[in-house]
């Protein structure tokens, strides 16, 4: 019984991790872009990194002088829950 329960637990963790990496992330991208550039549109997305535990984005916010903004987004409960983003040190 314990082996079956552990198998189901590991399967669930694997599915959640795959979902976090491969699922559509348009809402998270919009949230991050809104935090990086505010009401104006960012110049472009320079870098996007997705892992089972979170996502990170680097946006170019200005052309002249060039400026970037780096954000890190995570789920509320490691692999599940709503995404929230915070600014991190610019590269």
User: What would the pLDDT profile of 71-80 be if each residue is shown by its tens digit?
Assistant: 999 999 999 9
**Cβ atoms of 71 and 32 closer than 8 Å:** yes
Instruction: State how far the Cα of 58 lies from the Cα of 27, in Å rounded to an integer.
Output: 16
Q: pTM here? A: 0.86
**Residue 1: pLDDT band by 50, 70, 90 thresholds?**
confident
Average of pLDDT values for 57-75?
A: 94
Q: Which residue has the tokens 């694997």?
A: 14
pLDDT score recorded for residue 53: 94
**Residue 90: pLDDT band by 50, 70, 90 thresholds?**
low
């Amino acid at each position: 019984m314990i082996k079956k329960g552990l198998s189901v637990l590991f399967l669930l963790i694997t599915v959640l991790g795959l979902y976090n990496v491969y699922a559509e992330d348009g809402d998270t991208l919009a949230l991050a872009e809104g935090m990086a550039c505010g009401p104006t549109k960012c110049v472009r997305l320079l870098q996007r990194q997705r892992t089972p535990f979170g996502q990170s984005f680097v946006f170019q916010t200005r052309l002249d002088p060039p400026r970037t903004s780096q954000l890190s987004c995570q789920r509320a409960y490691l692999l599940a829950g709503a995404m929230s983003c915070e600014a991190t040190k610019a590269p």
